[in-house]
């Protein structure tokens, strides 16, 4: 039943990893957790309008894995909006491939052709920044020390996880 999970390559680190509905107090807030690989599938297919076969190749996963990520991710997003939940982007089974060591761009993710060198590879599982206060985690990016980051949830300084 449990197949070994393949590492998915992702090319996009979102500048924002926490979305909170306005007017809902922390106490009543429910969270839905979207993984980075689910987000990447949604980004490639729904935002970049890439074909599934192409997106699967890009992430180095089968098309069935890709469509599962897509289906799960879309469902979470839909439920979060329908139910007024916060969306936390966290975890997943992936390796972050950064285009040319570019930092956290808030703009569009770039589509790499096959050419050129991929910049630094920041770890997915393993390389994380963690919030010492609330436990929020996100993947660390090479060249961006965790201490320089603020937890999007509680604004504390992050530490190396
Ligand atoms: Zn925090």
Point out the least confidently predicted range of 42-51, 56-65, 130-139: 130-139
Strand ranges inside the chain, DSSP E: 8-10, 18-19, 31-34, 86-89, 94-97, 121-122, 128-130, 137-139, 159-160
CA of 27 to the centre of ligand 1 (A): 15
Q: Give which of 82, 67, 16 is closest to 37, Cα–Cα.
A: 67
Residues 6+ apart with CB under 8 A from 27: none
Percentage of residues of the chain with pLDDT beyond 90: 42
37-52 average pLDDT score: 96
> What rounded mean pLDDT belongs to the chain?
81
CA of 57 to the centre of ligand 1 (A): 35
Q: What is the pLDDT of residue 100?
A: 52
Q: What is the pLDDT of residue 109?
A: 37
Residues 6+ apart with CB under 8 A from 146: 129, 130, 140, 158, 159, 160, 161
CA of 152 to the centre of ligand 1 (A): 7
Q: How far, in Å, are 11, 104, 150 from residue 131 at the CA level?
A: 24, 18, 8
Domain boundaries, the chain: 8-101+118-123
CA of 137 to the centre of ligand 1 (A): 8
User: At residue 8, does pLDDT exceed 50?
Assistant: yes
CA of 59 to the centre of ligand 1 (A): 30
DSSP 60: T
Q: What is the pLDDT of residue 6?
A: 73
Q: Are residues 99 and 113 in contact, defined by beta-carbon separation less than 8 angstroms?
A: no
10-31 average pLDDT score: 88
Percentage of residues of the chain with pLDDT beyond 70: 79
CA of 144 to the centre of ligand 1 (A): 18
Kindly report, residue by residue over 80-138, the tens digit of the pLDDT: 999 999 999 998 888 888 765 444 433 333 333 333 333 334 444 457 888 999 988 88
Q: What is the pLDDT of residue 121?
A: 42
User: At residue 56, does pLDDT exceed 90?
Assistant: yes
CA of 86 to the centre of ligand 1 (A): 15
CA of 23 to the centre of ligand 1 (A): 20
CA of 149 to the centre of ligand 1 (A): 11
User: At residue 5, does pLDDT exceed 90?
Assistant: no
CA of 64 to the centre of ligand 1 (A): 35
Looking only at the bridges linking them, the beta strands covering 94-97 and 18-19 are unpaired
Q: Which residue has the tokens 């890439």?
A: 50
Q: What is the pLDDT of residue 137?
A: 86
Q: Are residues 110 and 76 in contact, defined by beta-carbon separation less than 8 angstroms?
A: no
């Amino acid at each position: 039943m449990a197949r070994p999970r393949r590492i998915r390559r992702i090319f996009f680190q979102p500048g924002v990893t926490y979305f909170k509905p306005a007017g809902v107090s922390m106490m009543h807030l429910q969270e839905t957790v979207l993984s980075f690989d689910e987000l990447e599938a949604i980004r490639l297919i729904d935002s970049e309008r890439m074909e599934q076969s192409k997106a699967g190749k890009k992430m180095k996963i089968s098309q069935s894995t890709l469509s599962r990520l897509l289906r799960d991710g879309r469902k979470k997003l839909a439920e979060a909006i329908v139910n007024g939940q916060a969306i936390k982007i966290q975890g997943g089974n992936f390796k972050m491939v950064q285009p040319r060591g570019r930092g956290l761009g808030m703009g569009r993710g770039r589509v790499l052709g096959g050419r050129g060198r991929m910049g630094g590879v920041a770890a997915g599982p393993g390389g994380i920044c963690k919030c010492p206060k609330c436990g929020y985690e996100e993947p660390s990016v090479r060249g961006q020390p965790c201490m320089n980051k603020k937890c999007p949830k509680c604004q504390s300084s992050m530490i190396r996880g």
